[in-house]
Structure formats: structure tokens, C-alpha cells
Structure 1
Amino acid sequence: MAPEHGWTAAATLGELAGAVLLLAVFVLTQRAVRAPLMPLSIWRTPNLAAANVAMALLGAAWIPMWYFLNLYLQQVLGYGSFAGGAALVPMTALMMLLMVGVTGRLIARFGPRPLIVTGLVVLAAGLGVLFTVHPHGGFVTDVLPDSLISAVGMALVFIPATMAAIGGVAPEQGGLASGIVNTTYQIGSAVGLAAMTAIATSQGAGALDDPRALTHGFRAAFIGAAVVALARCAARPRHPPHARARA
């Protein structure tokens, strides 16, 4: 709605107001019923709120990077849909390998917080380097190294932030805490993508027949996502003394 009508348009403001109203109704309902779907007391758990902020902003930085990098490959460099997707396989493979084989060991040694901070800085660095893409760039020189840097950052953040969210809750609330943090990541991804799309469009990404304007818009989105990732460092969650032992 916002990209077509603007953020101050009546339709956009109406949708935002409706979303706030529905959220308020949900909170009031959860306070009133005997067996709430989400007991509000869970938010008093140490680190849960901060970890959810972390995941929301992580999604708001990572998903726009993935989206606009694919658009850059297809709309500027001329890749087909299959080739554009295949170009992102190295980034995906590296991220999965790090999550499965490395991140757990690092959590056991250092705890979640240092990894979250380091990962967000690395993710922001990868996004910052993507700001240098240009209309005549190439996969090996411009896309591959930048995407791999971003993948390292994502791998260092996602699992530690999830563990920080669920590490302090009672065992019977572990599933609820996990559901909350994953939902928060999805919401952050959607809101971040909408915001970065608005930024990219305002900076020229709507000119589909002009590679230079497209690139300028995509670069603005990369920088916006990098700012989001760095802003997350100011809200890094703390972990209780027993979190490392659980990791």
C-alpha cells in the first residue's frame, strides 16, 4: 500500500491503525482469558524481549538483502530466474554449514551475546560492500564475495539470538518462546522488506528500463539494511549466567 500511495496516504494510515488496533485487542484478550494462547507473563523472562528485538531487526536487514541482490542479478546483470537463484546457492550453503558445524561450538565457548554483536557487524559490512555494486558488475567480482560476508554474519546471529530468547524461560514455555521469536523474525522480515522497497523505489528502482537507476535504488536498499543491522547492536540481549551452560 505505502509504495503505491505513500506513507501519509489515508489508506496506508488506515491499515497501520487497523494493525495497532488488532494487536491491542489481542493483548487485552490474552489478559482476560483463563488459558491464554500467549501468557503475557512470559515477557518478564530475562532476555526474551531483547532477543525478539534482535530477531526482528535481523530479519529486517537480511531478507531485503536477499531480495534486492536477486533483483540486481536479474534486472541489472541480465540473469534468468534460475541462474539468479543458483547464484545465491554459495551464500546459502556457507550459511548452513556454519550454522550446523561452527555456531554451536562458538556459543559453547563465548556465549550468545558476543556472537550476536559480531555477526551483526559482519552482516552490516557485507551489506556495506554491496553498496559498491554497479550496472556493469559481475558475479565473481561483486556479488559472490559480498554475499559470503553477509552469510557469515547471518550464521553468527540467528541461532545465538534464538537461544537467548528461549534460554531463560521455564521448560514448559520453551515451545511458546520459540514460536514467538520465529514469528517476530517473520514480522521483521516483512516490515523490513516493505521499508527497503519504499527506499529503493524512491531512489530509482522503479525505472525497470534503466540499469543505472535500478542499481542506485538497490544500493540505497543495501545501505538501509546495513543501518538496521548496526542499529540492532544497541539492543543486544543479555544472557543469564546459566545460558552458556545450556548452550
Structure 2
Amino acid sequence: MTSAHPASVGGQSDTRWSPRLWGTLVVLCAAMFLDALDVSMVGVALPSIGADLHLSTSTLQWVVSGYVLGYGGLLLLGGRAADLLGRRRVFLVALAVFAGASLLGGLVDDGGLLIGARFLKGVSAAFTAPAGLSIITTTFAEGPARNRALSIYTTCGASGFSLGLVLSGLLTSAGWRWTFLMPVPVALLALVFAIRLLPRQAAPERGRAGYDVAGAITGTGALLLLVFTLTEAQSAGWASLRTLGSLVVVAVLATAFLLIESRTAHPLVRLGIFRNGGVARANLTAFTIFGSYAGFQFITTLYLQRLLGWSALEMAFGLLPAGALVALSATRMGAIIDRFGTGRLLPIGVLALTAGYAYFLQLGEDSSFVALVLPSMVLLGIGFALAFPSVNINATSGVADEEQGLASGLVNTAFQVGSAIVLAVTTAVITAGSGGGESPQAQLDGYRPALLLVTGIAALGLLVTLVGAALERRAKAPAPVPDYRYEPLTDHRAGAGREQAAEGQVLSER
């Protein structure tokens, strides 16, 4: 069976992939795994970093926030750059920067340089993630081939995020610098193979495409300031002049961005892409599921380490079942999606996530791994295995090849901004509920309302997926067949009919 479409116009549709095609997918999966890994891996190492570099709590927070700021703030720009400058070129350059920033982070002895390296890694990830996803969606034809590729790719991302805590616990026991240095050889190896394997594309027609400089400035500025404001809101105060003033500036920049995008000939974000209902709903779902998980992971980390006294390594292995389920499902999800469709699997996945968060509401002062943590992790593993690939498939379905970078950037932005917003609100709820107390009861008084918030946000995502599934069924429903049954004849017509039948009988007898 040959490909129905060449890679440049529709992608590889053959289900029997060549070794080169498999190699391309593995390289892209490696980069995605590293991006997701870096989001979660540094968290467990923070106490060791703070003690070694003598960093205050507020400064230490920016070791995490610096990465999120660069990643979430520049994703839209990264996605559009992939469309305009070439996906392969953008991916290779960004992956090289990622490797260099990882090496820098593992060698520095200054907190400011470490935060700078983390920010640079976030910026590079903001370009590799949408470029890698759009390479897949333009290399594999929409349908079974793309579903299979995307399920493997996105599952690697979910596995990286889940397994980051486990690897961090193991590496931190040997020294926190290993959490920064470990990605370096993997990134360099992926870069070498990427140069040889990634498909080349025709040079973009720059004269026709144009560059939306004003949109890039206002859109990127709004996202960067939003992530920064939400990250700092807890320390500055949600009602402080600094926080409120920053949010006003974000609103002004966002309004300017929308006005520019609606009027410019070559927008950074073509707003018409949201007329595709599947794309719009996928982005909203991505916001809710990743945001709720970020909040849940933060609550779980505090609860297990502070209240139950688990070590970093014990906590890492406690969360392992969720990551293991996601990783083991990688090669089978494509076939499952082809058989049942994202319209069925996505609501089931989000329902499993919501149920996992709701089950964890039973947390107490002496909860056990078997009774509380394990059932929640199994539900979360099932949820992410089903929901994460389905969201990415929906977010890029029905989108033209020349806008795949944009679609990829949008869904990744939804993931990261959802994470930043929900995490900031979750932190505020925990602080308000506990009243700053450190007793077990005070901690539980903070964790429970925060878990209710997380569960509610996941339930909102479930509602969106159910509406989407209903609309999808309605769109696929066959058109009603016209009813051609004859109406009963009136008396005089019936009589005429009987007379004609009688005449026909006489003629036939003659």
C-alpha cells in the first residue's frame, strides 16, 4: 500500500511505516518527552538547590516559574514561527538551544544564572513543542496514520510529565545538578538524528506570508505578563495595586492583540481558526485538564511530604502508577482511537480524571497508599492515557497544513496557561483555607477546598467534552429519509379508482 498523499500535501497514510519514518517519530517524541520532563523534574530538587545556592523561598520559586514563563509566554510565537520560517529549521535550532541551556543550568553556581538558564530552556521548548507537533501533523495524513502517530507522541509527553517526579527523586539523591545535566546527552543525540531524519519542506513564501510584528509584540507581551502576574500574585497579594495594575495591562494588550489580528492581512493568530468548533473545544478542554492536574500535583506533593512525611523518593514512586499506565498505553492508543473515536474516549478520559480528583478528597491525617493514593493514580493514569492524545488530535483536525504550527501552538498555550492560572488560584485557596497554620488539621483545611476547586475545573472540562461529543453525533447522524407513503384516497377518488380497476378487469378478460 502506498501513501495516498505525499508528505508535503497531506502526509504519510501507509500503516506500514518505514524505518526512517519511525526514526523521525522517535526523535520528535524524545524532544517532547524532554520538554514535559523539565516541567516536573525540577520540583523535587528545589530544597537541595535552595540549600546549596543559599536561595530564599521567593527566589527559589523562579527556578520553576522562569521555565513556565518562557514556555507559556512564547508558544504562540513559536507555533507561528514554525509555519513562517520552516518547521524543521525552527525545531533544530530550538533543540540545540535547549541542550545548551540544560548544560548551563547544571554548571552554574549563581541563582540568577540558574533562573536565566531555566527561562532560556522554557523559550526553546516554546519553539520545539509546536514545531514538533506540526511536523507530525503534516507528515502523517489525517486519519488512522496521524491518530497513531499523535497517540504515541502525546503519550510520550504525558509520560515525561508523570515520570519527571520519579527521575527527579532518583537523580536528586545523587545531586541536584544531575536533574539539569541528564537531558543534555539525550537532547544532543536527538539533535544528531533530527538533522538526518526530519523531512525537509519547501521554503516558505515569505513575500506572501508576511510578518505580524504588532501582533507578535502585543500577543506575546500579554501572555508573558499574564504568566508573570499569576506567578507573583501570591507573594504580592491578589488585591495589591501591582497585581491589579498588571492584570489591567494584560487586558489592554489582549484587546489590542485581538483588534490587530482581526484587521491585519497576515495575522499571528488567524481568529477564524476558532470557527472550527472542534479546535475551540479542544483548547478549552486542554486548559481545564492540564490546569486541574497541575493544581492536583501541587496539592499532592505538599500533602504527601509535609503532612504524611513521605520522602521525595517515596512520593515519586507513589505517583508512578499513573505515569506507568500512560507509558504502557502509548503503542495501543492509536488503534483504540481509530476504533472508538475521540468523541467517545475524550469524555471517558476526563471523567476518569475528575473521579480521581474527587476520590482524593478522602485524604486524612493517616491515609495509606493502597486506600487513597493508588486508586487515584490508577484513575489519573487511565484519564491521561485517553484524554491527552484525543485532545491533541481534535486540536489539529481539519486544519490546513500551513496553519498546523498555529494550531499546535494554540493547544500547547492552552495547556501552559491553564497550568499557570489554576496553580496560582490553587495556591491562594490553600493559603486562605489553612490560615497559614502548620498543624495537620490546618493543612487539611487548606487542601480540601483546593481539591474541590481542582475537581470542579475538571468537571467543567467534562461538560465541554460531552457537549462536543453530542455535537459530533448530531453532525454524523444520517439525514432523515422522506416519507413517500400514499395518503388515503378520498371517497370520490376511491370510487373512481374502483371503477378504473373494474374496467381494467373487463379488458383483461376480453
TM-score (norm 2): 0.44
One-letter amino acid of the structure 1 residue matched with residue 353 of structure 2: L
1:122 aligned partner: 352
Q: Residue 181 in 1 paired to residue 411 in 2? A: yes
SS at match of 2:366: coil
One-letter amino acid of the structure 2 residue matched with residue 152 of structure 1: I
1:11 aligned partner: 242
Q: 2:435, 2:333 → 1: CA distance?
A: 36
One-letter amino acid of the structure 1 residue matched with residue 311 of structure 2: G
1:111 aligned partner: 341
Unpaired stretches in structure 1, ≥5 consecutive residues? none
1:63 aligned partner: 294
Does structure 1 retain, via aligned residues, the 8 Å contact 2:343–2:472? Answer: no
Q: 2:407, 2:385 → 1: CA distance?
A: 20
Q: 2:300, 2:332 → 1: CA distance?
A: 26
Q: How does 1:127-142 map to 2 (within 5 A)?
A: 127-142=357-372
Deviation at 1:72, TM superposition (A): 1.0
Deviation at 1:32, TM superposition (A): 4.2
Alpha-carbon deviations, 1:104-129, whole Å to 9, x = none?
22221121122121111111111111
Q: Per chain length, whose mean CA-contact separation is higher, i.e. which structure has more relative contact order (CA < 8 Å, sep 6+)?
A: 1
2:457 aligned partner: 228
One-letter amino acid of the structure 2 residue matched with residue 142 of structure 1: L
Deviation at 1:188, TM superposition (A): 0.6
SS at match of 1:104: helix
Does structure 1 retain, via aligned residues, the 8 Å contact 2:296–2:454? Answer: yes
SS at match of 2:269: coil
Does structure 2 retain, via aligned residues, the 8 Å contact 1:46–1:240? Answer: no
Does structure 2 retain, via aligned residues, the 8 Å contact 1:62–1:154? Answer: no
Deviation at 1:79, TM superposition (A): 1.6
The range that moved more, 30-39 or 168-177, is: 30-39
Does structure 2 retain, via aligned residues, the 8 Å contact 1:77–1:138? Answer: no
Q: Residue 24 in 1 paired to residue 255 in 2? A: yes
One-letter amino acid of the structure 2 residue matched with residue 180 of structure 1: L
SS at match of 1:131: helix
2:379 aligned partner: 149
The range that moved more, 168-177 or 229-238, is: 229-238
Q: 1:14, 1:48 → 2: CA distance?
A: 32
Deviation at 1:190, TM superposition (A): 0.9
Q: 2:277, 2:379 → 1: CA distance?
A: 31
2:276 aligned partner: 45
1:196 aligned partner: 426
Percentage identity across aligned positions?
32
Alpha-carbon deviations, 1:165-185, whole Å to 9, x = none?
111111221222111101111
Q: 1:198, 1:85 → 2: CA distance?
A: 25
Deviation at 1:164, TM superposition (A): 0.9
Deviation at 1:5, TM superposition (A): 5.4
One-letter amino acid of the structure 1 residue matched with residue 461 of structure 2: R
SS at match of 2:277: coil
Q: 2:303, 2:254 → 1: CA distance?
A: 36
Q: 1:219, 1:44 → 2: CA distance?
A: 38
One-letter amino acid of the structure 2 residue matched with residue 159 of structure 1: P
Q: 1:7, 1:217 → 2: CA distance?
A: 17
SS at match of 2:433: helix
Deviation at 1:189, TM superposition (A): 1.0
1:206 aligned partner: 436
The range that moved more, 163-172 or 9-18, is: 9-18
SS at match of 1:191: helix
Q: 1:80, 1:113 → 2: CA distance?
A: 40
Indicate how the Cα distance of structure 1 residues 211 and 205 shifts in structure 2: closer, same or farther if over 3 A, else same.
farther
Indicate how the Cα distance of structure 1 residues 112 and 87 shifts in structure 2: closer, same or farther if over 3 A, else same.
same
Q: 1:232, 1:52 → 2: CA distance?
A: 10
Does structure 2 retain, via aligned residues, the 8 Å contact 1:196–1:224? Answer: yes
SS at match of 2:451: helix
SS at match of 2:448: helix
RMSD over aligned Cα, in angstroms? 2.3
Alpha-carbon deviations, 1:24-52, whole Å to 9, x = none?
22223334444332222222223111111
Does structure 2 retain, via aligned residues, the 8 Å contact 1:58–1:232? Answer: yes
Q: Residue 89 in 1 paired to residue 320 in 2? A: yes
Deviation at 1:67, TM superposition (A): 1.6
Q: For the pair shown, which has the larger CA radius of gyration, 1 or 2? A: 2
Q: 2:368, 2:261 → 1: CA distance?
A: 52
Q: Residue 219 in 1 paired to residue 448 in 2? A: yes
Indicate how the Cα distance of structure 1 residues 178 and 240 shifts in structure 2: closer, same or farther if over 3 A, else same.
farther
Alpha-carbon deviations, 1:189-226, whole Å to 9, x = none?
1111111222222211732x312221232222222111
